[in-house]
């Protein structure tokens, strides 16, 4: 299937590693120009190099997305370079464990800036170009919005916000034929996940336990499985899909808990 993404300029926040990197690679394999907006320039340049090595097109802009001015400069840099934006993947974020008991106002607000506020800002700033291109928006979100996790109020709230904004923008942007969807991730092996699992006692045992609870295949979702869905949702091939929260999670959130 040709996803018709050739030369489409698509911004991927946090595209230097993990899920974002997987999406950047999948898009570049389809001929799109993967524009990585991330805070770690060395890592972004490495990913750009990997993409160029297989003949793909990629570009990187360094920005700490918790800084609104950096978001503004990043979007401007993309427009200056390419003259258009055809898609936006809001992906950067981290599960930073700001809980009800261990948190406070400053930590809660700071986590919302890490995980939610830039989703809004990047869409707001890219919108004039997305309107011109009838582009598409994809928000990466987490199961925690629906299932809770405990000890991570701000991250769960941010993911609730990511899901709500997906529906809200899908409605607001109907007149422009801009489709807005979300992929909900449950357990996907990435550098972020590895850091998190190593931060809890008995990580190996815990990992086994988690794998056992994933219905399809008793294994974590691979980055490529998220990335393939992302490429499809950003492409005109999914032209009548909007406002959807799509769970690429091996059945983790919705299937019967009694399955063994
Ligand atoms: N890995 C999982 O199992 C999982 C589950 C649910 C949701 N998610 C979501 O997927 C997204 C990506 O997660 P991942 O596991 O690939 O993480 P990761 O840490 O492996 O990669 C995240 C990338 O985003 C960048 N980034 C983070 N905050 C940034 C900021 N403020 N400014 C600029 N760049 C920033 C990092 O530098 C890194 O390159 C996150 O939003 C996370 O909430 C992941």
User: Which residue lies with its CA nearest to atom 34 of ligand 1?
Assistant: 38
Atom of ligand 1 nearest to the CA of 64: 32
CB 77 within 8 A of CB 69: no
Of 14-28, 45-59, 104-118, 245-259, the poorest mean pLDDT is in 245-259
Confidence of residue 216 (pLDDT cuts 50, 70, 90): very high
CA distance linking residue 93 with residue 17, whole number of Å: 12
How far, in Å, is the centroid of ligand 1 from the Cα of 258? Answer: 31
Q: Which residues pair with 35 in a beta bridge?
A: 11, 59
Whole-model pTM above 0.75? yes
Q: Are 84 and 35 a contacting pair, CB within 8 Å?
A: no
Tens of pLDDT along 100-113? 999 999 999 999 99
Q: In this structure, which topology does domain 9-186+223-245 adopt according to CATH?
A: Rossmann fold (3.40.50)
Q: For ligand 1, what atom is nearest to the CA of residue 188? A: 3
The reply to whether ligand 1 has any atom less than 6 angstroms from the CB of 138 is no
Average pLDDT score over residue span 55-72: 98
Picking from 34-43, 187-196, 244-253, which range would have the lowest pLDDT averaged per residue? 187-196
CA of 94 to the centre of ligand 1 (A): 5
Three-class secondary structure of residue 221 per DSSP: strand
Dist CA 189 CA 185 (whole Å): 11
Distance 134 CA to ligand 1 centre (A): 27
Cβ–ligand 1 contact at 190 (below 6 Å): yes
Q: What angle do CA 183, 222, 143 make, to 5 degrees?
A: 40
Residue 175 CA to ligand 1 center (angstroms) comes to 31
- Model confidence over 79-89: pLDDT tens digits? 999 999 999 99
Name the H helices within 3-67.
18-29, 41-53
Query: 188 CB under 6 A from ligand 1?
Result: yes
Residue 258: pLDDT band with limits 50, 70, 90: confident
Please answer whether residues 231 and 31 qualify as being in contact, where contact means their C-beta atoms are separated by less than 8 angstroms: no
Structural element, H or E, at residue 191: helix 191-198
Instruction: Identify the pLDDT of residue 242.
Output: 99
Is residue 155 flagged as an active site residue? Answer: yes
For a mutational test of ligand 1's pocket, the pick from 15, 70, 73, 94, i.e. the residue with the most ligand atoms closer than 8 A to its C-beta, is 94
The band of 70, judged by pLDDT with boundaries at 50, 70 and 90, is very high
The catalytically annotated residue of 155, 193, 247, 252 is 155
Residue 93 CA to ligand 1 centre (angstroms): 4
Whether 125 is in the pocket of ligand 1, judged by its Cβ within 6 Å, is no
Give the Cα-Cα-Cα angle 156, 221, 160 (nearest 5 degrees).
15
Among candidates 65, 78, 160, 169, which has minimal Cα distance to 121? Answer: 65
């Amino acid at each position: 299937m040709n996803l018709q993404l050739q030369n489409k300029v698509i911004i991927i926040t946090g595209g230097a590693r993990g899920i974002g990197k997987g999406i950047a690679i999948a898009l570049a394999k389809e001929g799109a120009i993967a524009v990585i907006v991330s805070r770690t320039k060395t890592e972004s340049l490495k990913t750009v190099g990997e993409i160029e090595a297989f003949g793909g097109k990629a570009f990187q802009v360094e920005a700490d997305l918790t800084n609104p001015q950096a978001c503004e400069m990043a979007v401007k840099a993309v427009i200056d370079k390419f003259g258009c934006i055809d898609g936006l993947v809001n992906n950067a974020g981290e599960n930073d464990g700001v809980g009800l008991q261990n948190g406070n106002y400053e930590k809660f607000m700071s986590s919302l800036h890490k995980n939610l506020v830039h989703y809004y800002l990047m869409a707001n700033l890219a919108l004039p170009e997305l309107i011109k291109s009838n582009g598409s928006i994809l928000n990466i979100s987490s199961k925690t919005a629906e299932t809770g996790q405990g000890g991570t109020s701000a991250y769960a709230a941010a993911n609730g916000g990511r899901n709500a904004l997906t529906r809200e923008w899908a409605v607001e942007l109907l007149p422009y034929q801009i489709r807005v969807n979300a992929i909900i991730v449950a357990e996907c092996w990435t550098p972020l996940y590895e850091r998190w699992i190593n931060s809890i006692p008995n990580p190996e045992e815990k990992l086994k336990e988690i794998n056992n609870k994933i219905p399809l295949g008793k294994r974590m979702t691979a980055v490529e499985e998220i990335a393939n869905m992302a490429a499809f949702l950003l492409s005109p091939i999914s032209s009548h899909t909007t406002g959807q929260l799509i769970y690429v999670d091996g059945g983790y959130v919705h299937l019967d808990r009694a399955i063994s």
